[in-house]
Amino acid sequence: MSKNPRDKIISLPNPHLRQRSKRVGVITHDIEQIVHDMISATLDWEDNRKHEVGVALAAPQIDTLLRIVVIREDFEDKKNRNFTILINPEITKYEGEKVEDYEGCLSIKDIYGKVPRYSKVRVKALDIHGKEFRFTAEGFLARVVQHEIDHTNGTVFIDHIKDATDAFYKLDDEGQLEPLNYDADIAANRLLW
């Protein structure tokens, strides 16, 4: 077995990314270890990327079909390597308008797309100690929460993109998004869908 944490991250076409996750019943040492593995995998992935930040990860992305999400506390400060842990997260209310913006995913290598998401959501979850908490997420945090909860429901961001033409991007050598050539880059990798 690989000792590299980022090697735990699975990617499409792995069928487990299309399955619904189970709720966590009791927070055991095994659950705590899964959370640790998720954070390690996210940070290791980030440490090996020139222009990207690992902002969040859902347990299905390390091939564990449980409703667990970790989200970075500060998206702007790469030195802050602390994460908020959401166990059994649920969106209790969608608010605001739907806004289209770029998303990428650790489980969909090097592909980005414009995805419509609500600009504000209300969320409830359990923390690592099993205590319920609620919060309101707006802007980028709302987008991240929706993206990660989608993973626990077997949905990936590309599922929200209806018109594939001119909808997908990749990072160039300078870290800027550039459109993918649909025929050459996307259709050739159709197995992702």
- For 32, list phi and psi in degrees, rounded to 5: -60, -40
Residue 98 has pLDDT above 70, yes or no: yes
User: Are 149 and 131 in contact, with CB atoms under 8 Å apart?
Assistant: no
Contacts 24+ apart (CB under 8 A), 165-170: 167/113, 167/114, 168/111, 168/112, 168/113, 169/102, 169/111, 169/112, 169/113, 170/110, 170/111, 170/112
The two tokens of residue 71 are 């989200």
Strand stretches in the chain, DSSP E: 56-58, 68-72, 83-105, 108-126, 132-138, 168-171, 177-179
Q: In this predicted model, what pLDDT tens digit does every residue of 15-39 receive, in sequence order? A: 999 999 999 999 999 999 999 999 9
For the residues 123-146, what does the mean pLDDT come to? 98
The SS3 assignment for 14 reads: coil
Residue 153 CA to residue 161 CA, distance in Å, equals 17
Binned at pLDDT 50, 70 and 90, residue 191 comes out as: very low
Residue 91 has pLDDT above 60, yes or no: yes
Percent pLDDT > 70 in the chain is 84
Q: What is the mean pLDDT of the chain?
A: 88
Binned at pLDDT 50, 70 and 90, residue 85 comes out as: very high
Binned at pLDDT 50, 70 and 90, residue 156 comes out as: very high
Residue 184 has pLDDT above 70, yes or no: no
pLDDT for 53: 85
pLDDT for 185: 52
pLDDT for 166: 59
User: Are 16 and 63 in contact, with CB atoms under 8 Å apart?
Assistant: yes
Residue 118 has pLDDT above 70, yes or no: yes
Residue 144 has pLDDT above 50, yes or no: yes
Residue 182 CA to residue 149 CA, distance in Å, equals 28
pLDDT for 55: 95
Q: Which residues are catalytic, by number? A: 148
Chain centre to alpha carbon of residue 3: 22
